[in-house]
Amino acid sequence: MTYLCSARTRQASSQCLNRRVVFLYTLMAIPFNKQYESPAYLAQLLQSRGLQMDSLSKAETCLKRYGYYRLSAYWHPLLQMPKTAHVFKPGASLDQTLMLYSFDAQLRLFIFKEISKIEIAVRSAIVNIISRETGDMFWMTNSSWFMDQPRFSRSMVLIQNEYDRSSEDFVQHFKQTYSDPFPPAWILAEILPLGTLTNIFRNFRVARIKKLVAKEFDLSLPVFDSWMNIIAVTRNSCGHHSRVWNKVFSFNARLESNMIHPWVSNRVQQGRIFFTLCIIKYFVDLIDPENDMLTRLRWLFVDYPQIDLHAMGFPDNWELEPLWR
């Protein structure tokens, strides 16, 4: 009884502390009071801060087409320190900003194409191996196969939404032909986003079967799970046209102590897009051994020679890394 009272006291103290933190944050926070400004005004503002441009009309057109907030990520490297002063470095130009924007768009297309190969292969591995090992073609909607039931319920909501709004011929055929509430896993896997499918996979309760999926790509389960999370996040960034070229990622990947296939040395640091490209290259080399990732990446850099590869996490002589040879 003493322990129960103590636990309640600790819980109450924790709740009180949380309320104090929220209260103090509220006192420190300030309301957003900036007003909407027209592209014409913003073009003049950028010029006054030192951003060189061919003409105000061109800058205004770019701001109308892409948006001030989106482009700001690409002129941020051109700002003097401290960047909060919003003063551009000598020689910084709108053309440089648009060059970075264009490069980032091409890089996203490059990444998206390669991730699509991984996505198809991983979907197939998850569905084929779990369906084979369980003998249950409806395992994806069978709660008994999952560890966390609230998490399963949330997945079911996502599955239901995707199933209801899908206009795919194979989905419509199933609805018109069969009485089952949901189709088998191999049909559902074709209409679910990659992030949803990997979350379903993580919640699957039979570790032995999940290890078989990871082994399909010669990885341990923790590393496979970690790398697929990074791929899913990167795919979302590309799908939403978010900046990737010099973005700093907050998550760290799990690593194998002994890689079966060529990998990179310890000088390749996590948190930059080059490390993500290495993860993508690892999978693609297994899925499509004759891939041309290296050649196409080289040509991309030829087209944009002004790009600072170090800002992307590329080490010197990165092409000599075992993975990229």
pLDDT digits (tens, 9 = 90+) for 233-264: 999 899 888 999 998 888 889 999 999 999 99
Tell me the Cα Rg of the chain: 25
* CA separation for the pair 48, 153 (Å, rounded): 54
The whole-model pTM stands at: 0.86
* CA separation for the pair 282, 285 (Å, rounded): 5
Predicted confidence (pLDDT) at residue 115 exceeds the cutoff of 70? yes
* CA separation for the pair 314, 325 (Å, rounded): 15
- Predicted confidence band of residue 93 (pLDDT cuts 50, 70, 90): very high
The Cα-based distances of 122 to 8, 96, 125, 183, 189 in angstroms read 46, 38, 5, 19, 10
Residue 2, pLDDT score: 41
Per-residue pLDDT tens digits for 95-105: 999 999 999 99
Predicted confidence (pLDDT) at residue 4 exceeds the cutoff of 50? no
Per-residue pLDDT tens digits for 196-209: 999 999 999 999 99
The percentage of residues in the chain with a pLDDT greater than 90, rounded to a whole number, is: 83
Residue 111, pLDDT score: 97
Mean pLDDT in the chain? Answer: 91
Q: Is 112 exposed, middle or buried (0-12, 13-18, 19+ CB in 10 A)?
A: middle
